[in-house]
Chains A and B, each alone.
Chain A
Amino acid sequence: MITLGLQEKNTFLEAVNKKSGANVLECYQCGKCVSTCPVSGYMDFPPREVMQMIKLGLKEETYMANSMWFCLTCSACSGRCPREIDIPAVMEGIRHLAIEENYHSQDKKVKEITRFHEIFLDMIKRYGRNYELRMMAEFNIRTRNLFKDMHLAPKALLKGKITLGHESTKSAKAIQKMYKLAEKLEKNK
């Protein structure tokens, strides 16, 4: 149920402000972010509407929309925002909150985007550095789209654009330990 007005405390707004360091209440809905954002056309709700949804305390709707996952953190919006709100930080804040609170969108594109990030992080965990070829292969396997970009592979490999081997940091073990500690830190919050 949507409740407007001052009778209820907007805990969602408070959480987002705290997480992002921004003040979403400052937004006066001019829409400059929407016209600036290169991906607002792909979003369920463009940035301006996301800001309003936070102000109205529409937590679940905000978490389940694809908007925050489509944000590329290009910072074009915040550079032009007349209220100087760090909109990418707000998007980042709601992403982290949604992950913490276990909200998972079932949208196919969102799932692919998050899967990519998980695989990328996994590459760093394993090698300390990114291993491009393996990352691409794993993405194709795990999104069940085996032939994606396969037409680019022969040329890219032949030209050395993508290398077959990988390099790892000497202290890949140290990175693995960092991952464990970071996870622990995040759980203990």
Chain B
Amino acid sequence: MNKITYFPGCSAHGTSEEFDHTLKLVMKTLDVQMEEIPDWNCCGATSAHVMTENLAIALPMRNLVLAEKLENKTMGIACASCYSRMKVTKKHLDENPNLAKKINSTIIDEGEYHGTIDVKSMLQYCFEEIGLETIKSKVTKSLAGLKVACYYGCLLTRPKDVTHFDSPEYPMSMDLLMEALGAKAVDFDYKTECCGASFSISNTEVVESLSGKILEVAKESGAHVIVVACPLCQSNLDMRQPDIEKHTKTKINIPVMYFTQLMALAFGFPEKELKLPKHIVPVEEALKNIGKIEPEPEKIKKTKKAVEAESEVV
């Protein structure tokens, strides 16, 4: 059994409870024990680093210090924003021992920072440490028939010198993960565009404009579902969707799910474990596509035949 230190983040017990819940189911299936950091605190999210210098370091740093005490190799983080703050802080501290010493000695009571723990997003952990083959081996109900648009947002892969994970422009890890579950990941040009993030409350019209474009492109790509790995992206794309529809006078109606919900489904957990009633845009209709395999379009069939015939001639 593998063991990781788990940082759920504030939204895990509210807005993104379905993420936290399905993540735990999935990790149990994959034989990973998640040890939650006792008495963790908010990482400060966007607000701390926008407004202050020292708290922006100190808040995540307290969590890193607490995490190191658990002595696991890796700290897995559910929320993309928490992940980013923790990673940025770790980079600052590791590159600048004086800063670590200063904040450690003046602000943090819980102990020394050593820089010994590896910080990963849960998507990254699934992709890099568990591996697609193991994930594939646990699938009992293939998601074949379901077309998904994988949306990574900004912080899972950017900035590159902080995350060291996947491509900052066109990442594929979540796409490959979805394909391992049997789903079809569609080409999706807006997979790393920003959803508006923390402007959700203070600058809603910006969020509606940015998220609106992401939803529109996802819809055009033919996806039944948008898959995300961040609670803030989920709430911007899901909760704001009815308002976006109203303002743009178009019907979008595309559900936004966490990658762990689809993993749980493919691992054979019943639908009620996905906590679908928490979604503002209903999911049930989209999931009916599972098992419905579309016949290959005539045009593609013809092209394939032509290519085969040609290669025979050669």
Q: A62: shortest Cβ distance to chain B, in Å?
A: 16
1/0 contact string of A58-86 vs chain B (CB within 8 Å): 00000000000010111110110000001
Instruction: List which B121-157 residues lie within 8 A (CB) of chain A.
Output: 154-155
The answer to whether A159 and B278 have CB atoms under 8 Å apart is yes
* Cα distance A132–B110 in the bound complex, in angstroms: 27
The answer to whether B109 and A186 have CB atoms under 8 Å apart is no
> Contacts of B196 on A, CB cut-off 8 Å?
38, 72
Given A72-B197, A75-B154, A79-B159, A129:B52 Cβ within 8 A: no
| Residue from A38, A74, A95, A129 within 8 A of B42 (CB atoms) | A129
> Contacts of B108 on A, CB cut-off 8 Å?
178
Interface size class of A (residues with CB under 8 A): 35 or more
Q: B228: shortest Cβ distance to chain A, in Å?
A: 15
The answer to whether B159 and A75 have CB atoms under 8 Å apart is yes
Interface residues of B (CB under 8 A from A): 10-11, 13-15, 17, 39-42, 44-55, 58-59, 62, 102, 106-110, 154-155, 158-160, 168-169, 192-194, 196-199, 201-204, 206, 210, 235, 239, 243, 277-280
* Cα distance A42–B107 in the bound complex, in angstroms: 37
Cβ of A5 under 8 Å from chain B: no
Please name the residue on chain B nearest to A84 by beta carbon: B161
Interface residues of A (CB under 8 A from B): 38-39, 42, 70, 72-76, 78-79, 86, 88, 92, 95-96, 99, 109, 112-118, 120-121, 123-124, 128-130, 132, 135-136, 139, 148-149, 152, 155-156, 159-163, 167, 169-171, 174-175, 177-179, 181-182, 184-186
A sample of 5 more A-B contacts (CB under 8 A), given A79-B169, A92-B50, A148-B204, is A73-B46, A79-B160, A95-B50, A159-B280, A186-B52
The answer to whether B280 and A156 have CB atoms under 8 Å apart is yes
Could you say which of A73, A148, A167 has the most chain B C-beta atoms within 10 Å of its C-beta? A73
| Residue from B15, B41, B62, B159 within 8 A of A129 (CB atoms) | B41
